[in-house]
Amino acid sequence: MTLFKQLFFGASLLFLLVLAGVEAIYLSNARLYLQQQLESHSQDAATSLSLWLATVQPFEDRALIETVVNTSFDRGYYQSIHVVSVSGETLVAKQLAPAQGEVPVWFTRLFPLRPPAAESLISSGWRQLGRVLVSSHPNFAYLQLWHTGLQTLALLLLVYALALVALRAFLANILRPLAEIERAATAIGERDFRTIALAPKARELGRVVAAMNSLSGKIRRVIEDESARAEQLQREAYRDPVTGLFNRRGLEHELQGLFRAERDVFSGVLVLLELERFKEYNLRRGYQRADELLALVAQTITGACADQAAVRSRFGGASFALATVNIDASAAGVLTAAISSRVESALAEQALTGEIQFHCGAAHFDAGAPSLPELLAAADLALTRAQEKGPDSFDLVELAEIDRRGRGSLAWREHIEGAIETGKLALYTQTVLSLPGRALMQSEVVTRILEDGSNPVPAAQFLPMAARHGLMPRLDCRVLEMLIARIDAGASLAPVIAVNISAQTVADAASRRRLIDALRGRRDIAARLVFEMTEFGVIQAPAQSLGFAAEIRRLGAQFAIDHFNLHRDSLRQLHTLLPHYIKLAPVYTNALAENQDSRFIVSSLMRIAQPLEIRIIAQAVESESLILLLGEMGFAGYQGYANGRPVPIG
């Protein structure tokens, strides 16, 4: 029960007891007053009757005495009237039976009124004739006491109701800061370090609010400072100071992380642009003018592609690169032509046509990302072909769409659709071990396509084609349904199971409903599942990712980020998504042992994640020495061939 309800019910009960006491005291005093009135009434009646009866002559005339008595008795105010002679003989006896009336019996028992008996002597001169005994009837007194009690009760109930309304308003106003404190405390427990804007008037609550705001502010500043530090380290290690673009190392780092998001990346293009005669321009115009020219070209290339996922780089010297994903061949050609046209116009505006020349070469890939050396070689070939065409020209090279199995794009689509429909999908799991104890932490589900007479097709070969043809929502839903069926069948699985979900699935409302419906009413299974999205997918669909995370958490499941590449936008998403854990991109994991900058950046990430209670898991771990280093750095767990290759679910 809330504090408000406890105080409200306690105060209202106390007030009710006070009002009940007031009612009881009032009725008790009224009863005493009426009792006294009854006694006075009886005595007055007896005295009056004795005076009237003294005039009756002869006194033994019973008919005349009864006539005198009836004038008083018939009014109904008296319970009994007796006239007794000097000798003790009863001359007249009148008795009125008790009447119940509208007054309840329990009320008469709770507030009893004793019928008073009064006596008066009947005298004629100095001679005593007899006595008259009068007892007043309590019915009228009870009726008056009952009506008085009802009226008083109605008034007190009205006062009680008004008091409850006032009490509720008073408590709501007093406890409003406490409600804000409770919400803030709950938010802190959920890793949302907000502050309380309300300033309580009560000194004690004011101090509590100030302490909580100070705590939240300090933690938030630590996270913000570490985020800024991580971004600064990234800029120093991976950014070109002249143009603000990625340097060559940053380009390779970003592309390696981007190409591993097989569920969300299915095609792309790498554009290389090289300025000719730049060295002579630098010597002739000076370093400042040369740097201004580099910054101009960088700005021009950036403006040619507004896609936030595009990677822009000063590749080295006077060479630039731009890479973007999920773009078809025709759009890649348009992009390459636009870059060439924009750079040509920018040079013309600076009156540098002829003094500075350039060439632009692009390599487009489809059906999954090639290796980075292969893509760079293809782009370099396109650049060479552009140089053969003459100054300020461009060329585009298309990487072969046919893979080593001889399937084209449409054949892959039919093959994947058939596997989804017929259930020719194999579920494998790869273990994730904790650090430092190396206990089983979870298992991650990976999917392969079954083929007759050959080994299953790995996910890296067919996922890009599934993403290209929009098949990821159907595939993800099918995999989850198969996993639930295996769990129901009693398959031996880890207590925690990680399931990969693509951005296409999260963005598709029908597929999200299908996933949620599969888990609705199955909280025992949902509590074991962690849905992982790649960093690229989260950046592409931030609102949908946040909504999906909230939906599955209501069902009991968890949300995590896979292939975390420390993108600037993803660092900001940590504060809103609050994932259960993040899996560090292999490009960072592989560089930890040899690259001090990578260790600094990952250490900053850990300091950001720690107050948010986000665990960090390393991926692609293959050596014992790296496992030891991960334990020293504070990683929560690791995944990779060091734990063994994926095994099929039995």
Q: Give the Cβ contact number of residue 560 at 10 Å.
A: 23
Q: Assess whether the region 3-161 and the region 240-398 belong to the same CATH fold.
A: no
Largest CA distance in the chain: 161
* pLDDT classification of 629: cutoffs 50, 70, 90: very high
Could you tell me the two tokens for 416? Answer: 């994947």
**Averaged pLDDT for residues 457-461:** 84
Average of per-residue pLDDT values in the chain: 86
* pLDDT at residue 319, rounded to an integer: 92
pTM of the model: 0.66
Domain map (residue ranges) of the chain: 3-161, 240-398, 409-648
pLDDT at 624 over 50: yes
Distance CA 418, CA 421 (A): 5
248-252-255-256 Cα dihedral, nearest 10 degrees: -170
**Please, which residues bridge with residue 442 across strands?**
432
CATH assignment of 240-398? 3.30.70.270
- The arrangement of secondary structure in 409-648, i.e. its CATH architecture, is Alpha-Beta Barrel (3.20)
Q: What percent of the chain has pLDDT over 90?
A: 34
Return d(Cα 618, Cα 633) in angstroms, integer.
Answer: 11
Q: Is the pLDDT of residue 552 over 50?
A: yes
Do the beta carbons of residue 420 and residue 471 sit within 8 Å? Answer: yes
CATH of domain 3-161: 3.30.110.200
pLDDT in tens, 566-615: 877 777 788 889 999 999 988 888 888 888 888 888 988 898 888 888 99
Residue 139: band (very low, low, confident or very high) from pLDDT cuts 50, 70, 90: confident
Which of 427, 416, 311, 426 is closest to 368 using CA atoms? 416
* 301 φ/ψ angles, rounded to the nearest 5 degrees: -65, -40
Query: For residues 82 and 467, what is the distance between their CA atoms, to the nearest angstrom?
Result: 113
Among the listed residues 617, 626, 624, 564, the one whose alpha carbon sits nearest the alpha carbon of residue 593: 626
Q: Are the C-beta atoms of 537 and 502 separated by less than 8 Å?
A: yes
Give the Cα separation of 476 and 508 in Å (integer): 12
Q: Give the tens place of pLDDT for each residue, 375-396.
A: 888 888 888 888 878 888 899 9
The pLDDT, as a whole number, for residue 401 is 44
